[in-house]
Structure 1
Amino acid sequence: MQPSLIREAIATAARTGVTLPDGIGKLTATGYTPDAVVTPHFFCGEYSVDFDKAMNRGLDKLELTCRVLVSRADDRSAQAVLDGMLAGSGPASLKSAIEAARGAPGDYALGGLAHDLHVTRIQGYRWYEHQGTQFIGAELIINIIGEG
Structure 2
Amino acid sequence: MQISLVRDGIADAARGVVLPAGIGKLTSTSYVPDAVVAPCFFVAEVEVNYDKTMGRGTDELLFTCRVLAGRADDRSTQRILDAMLSGTGEASLKVAIEAARGAPGELALGGVADDLHLQRVQGYRWYEHAGATYLGAELIIKVIGDGNT
Q: What band does the TM-score fall into relative to the shorter chain?
A: over 0.9
**Partner in structure 2 of residue 134 of structure 1:** 133
**Partner in structure 2 of residue 82 of structure 1:** 81
**Partner in structure 1 of residue 10 of structure 2:** 10
1:95 aligns with 2:94: yes
Instruction: Output the CA distance in 2 between the equivalents of 1:48 and 1:73.
Output: 32
Instruction: Output the CA distance in 2 between the equivalents of 1:75 and 1:33.
Output: 25
- The within-5 A match list for 1:1-148 is 1-15=1-15, 17-148=16-147
Report % sequence identity.
67
TM-score by length of 1: 0.98
**TM-aligned CA deviation for residue 79 of structure 1:** 0.4
Structure 1: gaps spanning 5 or more residues: none
Q: Which amino acid aligns with 2:13?
A: A
Q: Which amino acid aligns with 1:76?
A: R
Cα displacement string for residues 5-47 of structure 1 (whole angstroms, at most 9, x for unaligned residues): 10111101101x1000000000000000010010100000001
Displaced runs of 4+ in structure 1, greater than 3 A? none
**Number of residues paired by the alignment?**
147
**TM-aligned CA deviation for residue 73 of structure 1:** 2.4
Instruction: Output the CA distance in 2 between the equivalents of 1:124 and 1:115.
Output: 28
